[in-house]
Amino acid sequence: EDLRVDGRGCEDYRCAEVETDVVSNTSGSARVKLGETDILVGIKAEMGTPKLEKPDEGYLEFFVDCSSNSPELEGRGGEELGTDIANTLYRVFSCENTVDLKSLCINPKEHCWVLYVDVLLLECGGNIFDAISIAVKAALFNTRIPKVRVLEDEEGTKEIELSDDPYDCIRLNVDEVPCIVTLSKIGYRHVVDATLQEESCSLASLLISVTSKGAITSMKKVGKGSLDPESIFEMMETGQRVGKSLHIALQKILDEEESLGTSRPKVGFLG
């Protein structure tokens, strides 16, 4: 009847809190609370060498720490989940044009910016993949990379000069950065943003990464149960629809927060 235990419909998200610029010693950061799930993401831009196969691009590295107080995430359980989340993020961001990696190149084959994305799972209350993808997009939106000039002397030696002005920086375009929508199959229906209780009733879920225009960039099935083709098509349609509205709501919050400038009060335990 499109009614869940907590009163939501099948396609409704819980109330999400998003706050950016929460960690001072990072290039960009964000904290997302989605129901009981609490995620902190910090991004550090450091200079590195471009990869051989992509000499004119920078790249992203993901690290996930499951410091959640959930007993099932202690020891090996947390390590395995952290690896699984990191692999999923690599897969989502390996798609073309999610982030303009060419803008991170300083000097082809020699210098580029490497974005180290640290994800910290503070509390697990269900639907962690969606919450992490929202937090990563918010942190990328908040990221500021110093502008760099490459100076060359008469002998051909190159020297890199970083700008001292904190406002003289590169901002990343996050329009094409996808968010993950997890659809959990429960009985004959599927729901988005499942709580821990609902996840325990679901035998199979579909993780779909969706761009703001509703394009699906990757899919992954999790869980021991099976999904028939008809269910998968239905879930894909729901994922596209819900994903588009999720992007619109997130971008609105990010723009509103940025319009407040540096004078905005910090909330939460990091304030």
Range of the domain at 130: 16-148+177-260
* 8 CB-side CA count, 13 A: 15
Please, which residues bridge with residue 140 across strands? none
In a domain, 232, yes or no: yes
Domain count, the chain: 1
Determine the Cα–Cα distance for residues 87 and 81; give it in Å rounded to an integer.
Answer: 10
Q: Is residue 114 included in any domain, yes or no?
A: yes
pLDDT of residue 267: 63
pLDDT at 78: 78
Strand partners, 100: none
pTM given for the model = 0.91
Whether 124 is covered by a domain: the verdict is yes
Could you tell me which residues come within 8 angstroms of residue 175 by beta carbon, excluding any fewer than 6 positions away? 212
193 in a structural domain: yes
Q: Per the domain annotation, does 208 fall within a domain?
A: yes
pLDDT value for 72: 63
In a domain, 266, yes or no: no
What share of the chain in percent tops pLDDT 70? 92
Summarize the confidence of residues 246-266 as an average pLDDT.
85
Kindly state whether residue 36 falls inside one of the protein's structural domains. yes
Strand order across the 189-192 sheet: 189-192, 179-186, 204-210, 216-222
- CATH assignment of the domain containing 29: 3.30.230.70
Q: Which of 7-21, 54-68, 150-164, 167-181 has the lowest mean pLDDT?
A: 150-164
For residue 71, the model assigns a pLDDT of 66
Question: 199 lies in a domain?
Answer: yes
Q: How confident is the model over 196-226, as pLDDT tens digits?
A: 999 999 999 999 999 999 999 999 999 999 9
In angstroms, the CA 206 to CA 208 distance is: 6
139-181 pLDDT, tens digit each: 999 999 988 887 777 776 777 777 676 677 889 999 999 999 9
- Summarize the chain as % helix, strand, coil (round to 5): 30, 35, 35
